[in-house]
Amino acid sequence: MSFGLSSLPYELTALAPHMSAETLEIHHGRHHKSYVDTLNKLVEGKPEAGQDLETLIVSSEGAIFNNAAQIWNHDFFWKCMKPRGGGRPDGRLAEMMTEAFGSFDRFASEFSEAAVGQFGSGWAWLVLNKGKLAIRKTADADLPLRYDEQALLTIDVWEHAYYIDHRNLRPRYVKTFLGNLVNWDFALENLNRASQADRASRTDRWPQAAGSQLIA
């Protein structure tokens, strides 16, 4: 058994002009693919080759963890965007956002701050922790799964995600993501799934993770 490269949930040109086909082609076809190819080489002939991706992520470290987690992160990230995305969530997600952050605008501000403020490569997340929404940022390949939190939404803030379209202007990329790309339907689906499976909070584990910070 080997790990595969998932297809994008839309055409390469579907997110333009907010995210170009060139960005998607290189990000998915080269960066994401290289994590898949590298992981397959690392686990070849080993028991890990037969594990599912999430089991591998929570039980590994080093290069295997990094590549496995980056596959999971990218599979998830592609679904966090859609053509004609952006705007505000509604329904239960909107209510919970107001409860957790005070308003959507406050959420957007804190999420942007986390995404822009992540030093170096990493991810910003909207997660469900003990029935409540929270924002996290993680370094490199790190992800909420390691902390028993359910990811609802993420933005990739590695430079490869935005350099072609925005050069070094990460704030402009984050603004474009929230304004024109974010897929709130996917976040709501994740919320509905996660609500049933939400486990006990493990936030006390966050400070132990190098480079990962509890934001709210």
- Binding residues (CB under 5 A) for Fe ion: these are 156, 158, 161
**What is d(CA 161, CA 73) in angstroms, rounded to the nearest whole number?**
12
CB of 123 to Fe ion, least distance (A): 9
Nearer to Fe ion, 70 or 190 (CB): 70
CB of 88 to Fe ion, least distance (A): 25
For helices 91-101 and 184-197, the axis angle rounded to 10 degrees is 80
CB of 175 to Fe ion, least distance (A): 18
Nearer to Fe ion, 126 or 161 (CB): 161
Closest CA to 89 of 190, 182, 195, 205: 182
CB of 156 to Fe ion, least distance (A): 4
C-alpha angle 73/83/23, rounded to 5°? 55
Nearer to Fe ion, 152 or 155 (CB): 155
Nearer to Fe ion, 140 or 156 (CB): 156
Nearer to Fe ion, 80 or 187 (CB): 80
Question: Which position has the token pair 């486990």?
Answer: 199
Closest CA to 76 of 16, 150, 20, 17: 150
Q: Which residues pair with 137 in a beta bridge?
A: 124, 213
Nearer to Fe ion, 75 or 148 (CB): 75
Q: Which residue is nearest to Fe ion (CB)?
A: 156
